Structure 1
């Protein structure tokens, strides 16, 4: 449908756009590009991510938006171990479910590895 908006990018506030962009690039692939003043864009991954420099971001705040990244159920542990090795941390203080695991990237942004029903 032409009148339905399509996702263009997910914007993630952070203190260091290049550092956080490199983390997500290592995990998802793609190419990092300067996107303007204090913005770094990740192109060619499953969705474009924009990392925006914002003063005062901290890992102890709750994100109003997070990413859900789907993996096959048989690969969930491998995906979780891989992203932990890249610098993510478990976010067990939020919630875990039987179809997803909550994590935080190095800047404290929340995301989930999901493997359950769509």
Structure 2
């Protein structure tokens, strides 16, 4: 048996607000009915997981134990686009023959954008 990624689930303060941000990032629409408690961005195509957002009472207080990495042909341009959408650039790295940027979404969740080859 083989596993396949089905959904990426994000705990947050305002599910509708965070889903709207990730909707712009991913270029996929939020399903109708999103509110502050829960929101859903459906699967895009083959191999593209859906994204679920759920409001939780506690605030984020530490670094993510797991995060999402994206790859971009023009990392610098993509980082500028994401910052324009509301992300925060945390740091840029150039190690192990790889360049990547660490960002945070509007709720402080870390994610990375890696330079494609």
| Same fold per superposition (TM over 0.5) | yes
The aligned counterpart of 2:52 is 50
| Distance in 2 of aligned mates of 1:50 and 1:66 | 15
Task: Tell me the SS of whatever aligns to 1:91.
Answer: strand
Q: RMSD of the TM alignment (CA)?
A: 2.1
Distance 2:75 2:84 in 1: 14
Q: How many residues align?
A: 109
In structure 1, list runs of 5 or more residues that go unmatched: none
1:40/1:52 contact within 8 Å kept: yes
> Contact 1:11 / 1:49 at 8 angstroms: preserved in 2?
yes
Change (3 A) 1:8 1:64: same
Distance 2:72 2:80 in 1: 13
Using the TM superposition, give the Cα deviation of residue 38 of structure 1 relative to its aligned residue in structure 2, in angstroms.
2.8
After TM superposition, the score normalised by the length of structure 2 is 0.82
Which stretches in structure 2 are left out of the alignment for 5+ residues?
A: none
How far the C-alpha of 1:44 sits from its partner, in A, is: 4.2
Higher strand share: 2
Q: After the TM superposition, which residues 8-87 of structure 1 pair with which residues of structure 2 at under 5 Å, given as runs? A: 8-33=6-31, 34=33, 38-45=37-44, 46-58=48-60, 60-72=61-73, 75-87=74-86
Q: What is the TM-score of this pair, normalised by structure 1? A: 0.81
Structure 1 stretches of 4+ with a deviation exceeding 4 A read: none
